[in-house]
Structure 1
Amino acid sequence: MKTLAVTGYRPWELGIFSEKHPGIRIIQHVLYNRMRAFAEEGTEWFVTSGQPGVEWWAAEAVHKLKAEFPDVKLSVLMPFLEQEARWPEAMKEKYFEMLARADHVAAITRRPYESPAQLRLKNDFIVQKTDGLLIVYDEDLPGSPVYFLRAAERRAAGDDYPVFYINRYDLEDAEREWFETRGGGDLET
Structure 2
Amino acid sequence: MKKVYITGYKAFELGIFKKEHEGVKYIKKALVSRLVPLIEEGLEWVLISGQLGVELWAAEAVYGLQEEYPDLKTAVLTPYLNQEANWNDANKEYYEEVLAQADFIDSISRKEYEGPAQLRAKNAFLIMKSDAMVILFDEEKDGTPMYVYQDARTYAASHHYPIIQITFDDLQQIAEEEQWENQ
Range into which the TM-score falls when normalised by the shorter chain: over 0.9
In structure 1, the partner of 2:14 is 14
In structure 1, the partner of 2:148 is 148
1:150 Cα deviation after fit: 1.6
In structure 1, the partner of 2:31 is 31
1:18 Cα deviation after fit: 2.2
Map Cα deviations across residues 145-177 of structure 1 (whole Å, 9 max, x no partner): 011112211211111111000001110100000
1:102 Cα deviation after fit: 0.4
- Does the CA-based 8 Å contact 1:6-1:48 persist in structure 2? yes
- Within a 5 Å distance, the mapping from 1:28-177 to structure 2 comes to 28-177=28-177
- Does the CA-based 8 Å contact 1:35-1:61 persist in structure 2? no
Specify every segment of 5 or more residues in structure 2 that has no aligned partner in the other structure, as ranges: none
Normalized against structure 1, the TM-score is what? 0.94
Q: Report the Cα distance in structure 2 between the residues aligned to 1:97 and 1:125, rounded to whole angstroms.
A: 25
SS of residue paired to 1:155: helix
Q: Report the Cα distance in structure 2 between the residues aligned to 1:18 and 1:75, rounded to whole angstroms.
A: 24
Map Cα deviations across residues 38-68 of structure 1 (whole Å, 9 max, x no partner): 1111111000000010001100011011111
- Does the CA-based 8 Å contact 1:10-1:52 persist in structure 2? yes
Q: Report the Cα distance in structure 1 between the residues aligned to 2:109 and 2:91, rounded to whole angstroms.
A: 22
- Does the CA-based 8 Å contact 1:50-1:78 persist in structure 2? yes
Task: Say what the alpha-carbon RMSD is for the aligned residues.
Answer: 0.8
Map Cα deviations across residues 17-42 of structure 1 (whole Å, 9 max, x no partner): 22232111111111122112211111
Q: Report the Cα distance in structure 2 between the residues aligned to 1:151 and 1:57, rounded to whole angstroms.
A: 22
Q: What percent of counterpart residues are identical?
A: 45
Q: Which runs of at least 4 in structure 1 moved beyond 3 Å after TM superposition? A: none
Specify every segment of 5 or more residues in structure 1 that has no aligned partner in the other structure, as ranges: 184-189
**Which stretch of structure 1 is more off in the superposition, 52-61 or 27-36?**
27-36
